[in-house]
Amino acid sequence: MPVNGPVPWKRADHTGAKHDIYRRYLQRWFPILLGGSNAYPSATYAEGFAGPGVYLDDHPGSPVIAVQAMLDKVPESDAIVKMIFVDDDQRCIESLRHQLTTRFPQRPRTPDAFRLKLAHGTCTETLEPSLDAMHAWGQPILAVLDSWGNVPVTFDLLARLAHNQSSEVIITLGTQPFIRFVSTMGQEADDVFGGDPTWRHIDTMASAQAKRQHILTCYRQTLSTAGFKYLLDFELVDTRGESLYLVFGTNHRRGLEKMKDSLWEVDRIYGVGFRDPRDEQAETLFELTDPALAPLGRLLLNRLEDAPATGCRVEELREFTLFETVYRPQHVIRTLNQLRANGLIASDEPGLYRRSRVRLAS
Ligand SMILES: C[S@@+](CC[C@H](N)C(=O)[O-])C[C@H]1O[C@@H](n2cnc3c(N)ncnc32)[C@H](O)[C@@H]1O
């Protein structure tokens, strides 16, 4: 990773898959908020770690993907689109400016209908004042906070976003910096977790998986305390086994559903697998053509262990799956049928439907 290295740099395997998720989500987000008769007067897309807008081999960076998604999906609308791109490397800002002007030579909207701000500075010091200056608050904001994984983002900004109208965050979390430097990292690392040092308990944990999971749990707690009601996190694993987490925070069920749809449609050509961080066996989900449902099966069995002896309704398990796992509700009945065929769960009904009850087999 080029901290003070050359700009631009080679696109990592994870990044292609991550961009595919951004693209698919933005192609849904822009029209929901800015298209149609229920459109908001304005919405803001903001990046705190924008990068140079391009990679070696000319792959577009996330700001270019965002502009393209907006143009593709809401070419015409009375709503005002605002975009803010912050980076603390001046070379990235200059490159991004060049990319945006050369890739979009015809400004498709008037400068008033499409307000663009590129700002040189750290996310901590520059993003919030830029949102203020653009009068972004009070209307939806999607903040993409794609740092090198160390997440230098203030809790106050997260809390302000969480309490702002229809606003969401997508955050890249790399657990390695925290695991490697736990003994030397100071207060700034606790600040990532809203000032709470609980993440440092990784010191006492033996396995790398347990440490990763603990950091993720602490970060989820941070976003939840900041005010995000629904969280979706998932692990992207490349062919060398290296992983990073994307954590999505929203207050809208629909946002969660759309992000899951985007995740499950992601193109397999990137060779990147996904994992549900809560799966004890850390099984990759997308290596085969069909989604691996075994991890969901384990999660559903754990859930049924906590249920009363009469079990619970399939509909409850669908809700659990939507809110507490990376799977979609549509995966539930298929998984329950497999568990039942393996004699692990039982039901009094011959077929399983949303209203059916299921319980652990005795
Ligand atoms: C992972 S790259 C961003 C990639 C970009 N979002 C994309 O997907 O095309 C991280 C960027 O954050 C910038 N950066 C690192 N620390 C920063 C900070 N504290 N504030 C703002 N930018 C920072 C780096 O210069 C780099 O361009």
Task: Indicate whether 284 belongs to any domain.
Answer: no
Question: Which pLDDT value is given to residue 290?
Answer: 65
Best of 147, 172, 173, 245 to mutate for ligand 1, by most ligand atoms within 8 A of CB? 147
Determine which of 19-28, 126-135, 202-211 has the lowest per-residue pLDDT on average. 202-211
Task: Indicate whether 7 belongs to any domain.
Answer: no
Question: Which pLDDT value is given to residue 209?
Answer: 86
Among the atoms of ligand 1, which is closest to the Cα of residue 61? 9
Identify the residue whose C-alpha is closest to ligand 1 atom 2.
Answer: 51
Statement: residue 225 has pLDDT above 90: yes
Confidence of residue 289 (pLDDT cuts 50, 70, 90): low
Same domain, 248 and 304: no
Identify the residue whose C-alpha is closest to ligand 1 atom 6.
Answer: 50
Judge if the beta carbon of residue 86 lies within 6 A of ligand 1. Answer: yes
Task: Indicate whether 4 belongs to any domain.
Answer: no
Identify the residue whose C-alpha is closest to ligand 1 atom 26.
Answer: 51
Same domain, 162 and 303: no
Higher pLDDT, 277 or 193: 193
Among the atoms of ligand 1, which is closest to the Cα of residue 64? 9
Q: CATH number of the domain that 84 lies in?
A: 3.40.50.150
Rounded to the nearest angstrom, the distance between the alpha carbon of 151 and the centre of ligand 1 is 10
CB 51 within 8 A of CB 62: yes
Confidence of residue 92 (pLDDT cuts 50, 70, 90): very high
Smallest CA-to-CA distance from 247 within 236, 261, 258, 239 is with: 236
Question: Which pLDDT value is given to residue 223?
Answer: 98
The dihedral over CA atoms of 275, 26, 84, 164, expressed in degrees to the nearest 10, equals: -80
Among the atoms of ligand 1, which is closest to the Cα of residue 147? 10
Task: Indicate whether 6 belongs to any domain.
Answer: no
> Would residue 51 be called left, alpha or beta, if left means φ above 0 and alpha means ψ between -120 and 50 degrees?
left
Same domain, 85 and 184: yes
Q: CATH number of the domain that 316 lies in?
A: 1.10.10.10
Rounded to the nearest angstrom, the distance between the alpha carbon of 160 and the centre of ligand 1 is 21
Smallest CA-to-CA distance from 281 within 305, 298, 263 is with: 298
CA distance 169 to 79: 21
3-class SS of residue 285? coil
Same domain, 256 and 327: no
Q: Which two tokens stand for residue 279?
A: 């799966």
**Angle formed at CA 343 by CA 342 and CA 344, multiple of 5 degrees:** 95
Same domain, 307 and 229: no
Same domain, 312 and 173: no
Question: Which pLDDT value is given to residue 271?
Answer: 67
Confidence of residue 287 (pLDDT cuts 50, 70, 90): low
Task: Indicate whether 248 belongs to any domain.
Answer: yes
pLDDT 10s digits, 9-46: 999 888 998 999 999 999 999 999 998 888 999 999 99
pLDDT, mean of residues 50-58: 97
Determine which of 23-32, 152-161, 239-248, 347-356 has the lowest per-residue pLDDT on average. 239-248
Statement: residue 255 has pLDDT above 50: yes
Rounded to the nearest angstrom, the distance between the alpha carbon of 311 and the centre of ligand 1 is 48
Smallest CA-to-CA distance from 356 within 344, 340, 342 is with: 340
CB 137 within 8 A of CB 100: no
CA distance 308 to 314: 14
Same domain, 260 and 348: no
Statement: residue 288 has pLDDT above 50: no
Domain containing residue 169: 13-275
Instruction: Count the domains in the chain.
Output: 2
Task: Indicate whether 2 belongs to any domain.
Answer: no
Same domain, 208 and 342: no
Task: Indicate whether 287 belongs to any domain.
Answer: no
Same domain, 79 and 120: yes
Same domain, 45 and 82: yes
CA distance 316 to 288: 28
- Last residue of a domain, which of 209, 241, 275? 275
Identify the residue whose C-alpha is closest to ligand 1 atom 18.
Answer: 122
Same domain, 20 and 116: yes
Identify the residue whose C-alpha is closest to ligand 1 atom 4.
Answer: 51
Smallest CA-to-CA distance from 254 within 351, 343, 168 is with: 168
User: What percent of the chain shows pLDDT beyond 70?
Assistant: 97
- Last residue of a domain, which of 219, 248, 275? 275
Judge if the beta carbon of residue 51 lies within 6 A of ligand 1. Answer: yes
Identify the residue whose C-alpha is closest to ligand 1 atom 25.
Answer: 89
Question: Which pLDDT value is given to residue 36?
Answer: 81
Judge if the beta carbon of residue 149 lies within 6 A of ligand 1. Answer: no
Judge if the beta carbon of residue 46 lies within 6 A of ligand 1. Answer: no
Judge if the beta carbon of residue 88 lies within 6 A of ligand 1. Answer: yes
Same domain, 88 and 180: yes
Q: Which two tokens stand for residue 39?
A: 């459109």
Among the atoms of ligand 1, which is closest to the Cα of residue 149? 1
Best of 25, 64, 87, 146 to mutate for ligand 1, by most ligand atoms within 8 A of CB? 87
CA distance 133 to 85: 13
Confidence of residue 147 (pLDDT cuts 50, 70, 90): very high
| Amino acid letter for position 24 | R
Task: Indicate whether 151 belongs to any domain.
Answer: yes
Q: Which segments of 115-266 does DSSP mark as H helices, in order?
A: 123-133, 155-162, 176-180, 187-192, 208-226, 253-265
Q: Which two tokens stand for residue 152?
A: 């230098």
Secondary structure E strands in the chain: 42-47, 80-87, 114-120, 141-145, 168-173, 230-237, 243-250, 273-275, 312-313, 345-346, 357-360
